[in-house]
């Protein structure tokens, strides 16, 4: 069935360093890949998304890459800051109001 | 412009009872999806409503049912509550034909 695998489950980086979270998806029909950030007790917030016709997308310190052939996609956060500490979820969808399949999450901690 | 809203914020029920959760989508959004997020896990898709009909359904039993009203707001009903139904229930809305979903703050349900 449809599945999204995410790793690592926890990640601790020094403030100012980069963080990378990797995901794989199983359904080759997936064409929309959002990333959500969820702080403790709060709603998942969309931070960046990428569609299958694009290989890379960047928004300030955040970038996402997609390899359709390998069915891999990754989130890169550069120059990490304390407010980047949260749980990050990758997800995959067939787009156009389809359901979203989430990964299991990565708890990112930024060490001062 | 209000985002996605949900009520109530918290709820405590006992096994066997029934519960109704409510969601108002973001202005202009006509599609509402419901997700269950157990502690420490990613959201799991329950079902999606569009034009007052259930359009897609995840792997949840018939105890989970829903409704969408003409103003696009939605309800999630869970009958015969089990301890395992304790979770954060998230509602997400999206624009017509769009894959991007925006989440509400959730309803935290505790079943005793």
pLDDT of residue A108: 98
Of chain A, the end-to-end C-alpha distance in Å amounts to 41
Mean pLDDT of chain A: 94
Chain A contact set for B44 (CB, 8 A): 102
Of A32, A44, A105, the CB nearest to B103: A44
Chain B contact set for A3 (CB, 8 A): none
pLDDT of residue B97: 76
Residues in A whose CB is inside 8 Å of some CB of B read 6, 32, 34, 36, 42-46, 49, 89, 91, 93-105
Nearest-CA distance from B100 to chain A in Å? 7
Tell me the two tokens of residue A98: 């389809």
pLDDT of residue A1: 66
The pLDDT tens digits of the residues spanning B30-67 come to: 999 999 999 999 999 999 999 999 999 999 999 999 99
Q: Which residues pair with B110 in a beta bridge?
A: B12
Residues in chain B, total: 112
Chain A nearest-CA residue for B93: A97
- Give the residue carrying structure tokens 């702080």: A39
d(CA B43, CA A39): 14
The pLDDT tens digits of the residues spanning A31-67 come to: 999 999 999 989 999 999 999 888 999 999 999 999 9
Percent of chain A scoring above 90 in pLDDT: 88
Nearest-CA distance from B65 to chain A in Å? 16
Q: What is the DSSP string of B72-106?
A: S-EEEEE-S--GGG-EEEEEEEE-TT----EE---
Q: Residue B1 — very low, low, confident or very high, per pLDDT cuts 50/70/90?
A: low
The answer to whether B49 and B91 are in contact (CB under 8 A) is: no
Chain B contact set for A86 (CB, 8 A): none
The answer to whether B8 and B106 are in contact (CB under 8 A) is: no
The pLDDT tens digits of the residues spanning B65-93 come to: 999 999 999 999 999 999 999 999 999 99
Nearest to B76 by CA among B110, B100, B106, B103: B106
User: Phi, psi (5° rounding) for residue A82?
Assistant: -55, -35
Q: Is the pLDDT confidence value at B2 over 90?
A: no
pLDDT of residue A18: 98
d(CA A81, CA A39): 14
């Amino acid at each position: 069935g449809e599945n999204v695998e995410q790793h690592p489950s926890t990640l601790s980086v020094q403030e100012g360093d980069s963080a990378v979270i990797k995901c794989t998806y199983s359904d080759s029909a997936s064409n929309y890949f959002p990333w959500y950030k969820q702080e403790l007790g709060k709603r998942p917030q969309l931070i960046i998304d990428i569609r299958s016709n694009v290989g890379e997308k960047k928004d300030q310190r955040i970038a996402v890459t997609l390899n359709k052939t390998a069915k891999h996609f990754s989130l890169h956060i550069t120059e990490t800051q304390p407010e980047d500490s949260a749980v990050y979820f990758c997800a995959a969808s067939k787009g156009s109001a389809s359901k979203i399949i989430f990964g299991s999450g990565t708890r990112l901690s930024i060490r001062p | 412009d209000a985002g996605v809203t949900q009520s109530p914020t918290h709820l405590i029920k006992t096994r066997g009872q029934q519960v109704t959760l409510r969601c108002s989508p973001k202005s202009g959004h006509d599609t509402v999806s419901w997700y269950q997020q157990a502690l420490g896990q990613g959201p799991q898709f329950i079902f999606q409503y569009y034009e007052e009909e259930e359009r897609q359904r995840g792997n949840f039993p018939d105890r989970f049912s829903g409704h969408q009203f003409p103003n696009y707001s939605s309800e999630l009903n869970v009958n015969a509550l089990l301890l395992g139904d304790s979770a954060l229930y998230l509602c997400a809305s999206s624009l017509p034909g769009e894959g991007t979903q925006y989440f509400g703050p959730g309803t935290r349900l505790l079943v005793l």
